[in-house]
Amino acid sequence: MIAVSSCLAGIECRYNGTHSSVEKIKKLVDQNQALLICPELLGGFSTPRESAEIVGGTGEDVLDGKARVIEKSGNDVTELYIKGAYKALTIIQEVNAEYVVLKESSPSCGSTMIYSGEFSNTKIAGEGVTAALFKRSGIKVMSEKQFLNTSLS
């Protein structure tokens, strides 16, 4: 069993109410070979919701208390991101997922790139809160782009 960000399977759960469907991932879900997770919904957010970025670092820094997740309006939503990450981790561990495919650039799920925290549409190297927690817990994490470039399925 693998786990995937729900938005990658066509679920309209992104902050703006859209999805980022990837056909190869959607097929795995349709064949009951992949479990859907959305750490932001697990953390208590609704869809749509205000965009948020990690300010002051990366997901690793958020987990260490050195950075915050802030909505564009300035509202601090760090605790909801952390809560969702831990709930997602519990689910992943319960199903003993072999690996997880997460939505790149997300403040939760970005596995190699996230937005800079300046709301300027600029990306930086780093991972989101959930991706960082999964990696700390020994779970193999990849982006949808990395997944499409592998022979995994």
* Contact residues for 95 (Cβ-Cβ < 8 A; gap 6+): 1, 3, 35
Phi-psi region of 5 (alpha: psi -120 to 50; beta: other; left: phi over 0): beta
**Average confidence (pLDDT) over 130-153:** 92
**Average confidence (pLDDT) over 100-127:** 97
**Average confidence (pLDDT) over 65-69:** 98
**Average confidence (pLDDT) over 78-100:** 97
13-30 pLDDT, tens digit per residue, is 999 999 999 999 999 999
pLDDT-derived band at 110, boundaries 50, 70, 90: very high
79 pLDDT exceeds 70? Answer: yes
**Average confidence (pLDDT) over 46-54:** 97
| CB-based contact 140:99 (threshold 8 Å) | yes
**Average confidence (pLDDT) over 89-110:** 97
Q: What is the pTM of this model?
A: 0.96
146 pLDDT exceeds 60? Answer: yes
pLDDT-derived band at 7, boundaries 50, 70, 90: very high
Domain limits, the chain: 2-148
Distances in Å between the Cα of 103 and the Cα atoms of 14, 64, 75, 129, 145 are 10, 22, 23, 12, 9
Per-residue tokens: 128: 């989101």
Q: What percentage of the chain has pLDDT greater than the value 90?
A: 97
Planar angle of CA 85, 88, 94, nearest 5 degrees: 140
The pLDDT assigned to 152 comes to 65
Helix (H) or strand (E) holding 135: helix 129-136
**Residues found in the chain:** 153
Q: Considering only CA atoms, which of 9, 134, 35 is closest in space to residue 84?
A: 134
